[in-house]
Amino acid sequence: MPLYLTTPAGTALSRTAFNSGVWKPAIRATGVPDNRHNGMHVLRHTYASVLLDAGESIKALSAYLGHSDPGFTLRIYTHLLPTSEDRTRRAIDHAFADDPQTPDGLETA
């Protein structure tokens, strides 16, 4: 797998180096407060929430985040999962729709 963020020597850029050398200077330059709510960890949670909202599995997300146990991922990110009521309602609406479309409104093939 190719590296997208590297040091000048072409090696992997560590989270710490990226945070102090790239992320924090960038948010300071835009006037965004340099605090916990705007830190690197927020990017991780954003990534996880976008994937979960798109329907990615906990097992796959766990692998993407580098967790060895999907149960750990579930315990950490369960609050980001769409509610089962919303998923159930969308599934039933889709099943009984007059014009078969996917739950997100795109026509099926």
Give the pLDDT mean for 30-57.
86
Instruction: Pick 92 or 107 by higher pLDDT.
Output: 92
Cα separation, 12 vs 66, in Å, equals: 15
Average pLDDT, the chain: 82
pLDDT at 109: 46
Q: What is the 3-state secondary structure (H, E, C) of 20-84?
A: HHHHHHHHHHCCCCCCHHHCHHHHHHHHHHHHHHCCCCHHHHHHHHCCCCHHHHHHHHHHHCCCH
Length reported for the chain: 109
Q: pLDDT per residue over 10-42, tens digit each? A: 899 888 888 888 889 999 999 998 888 888 888
Helices (H) and strands (E) in the chain, counts: 6, 0
If you ran DSSP here, which 8-state letter would residue 3 be given?
Answer: -
pLDDT at 100 over 80: no
Q: Which residue has the tokens 């830190």?
A: 39
Q: How many CB atoms lie within 10 A of CB 36?
A: 8
* Its pTM surpasses 0.95: no
Instruction: Pick 55 or 65 by higher pLDDT.
Output: 65
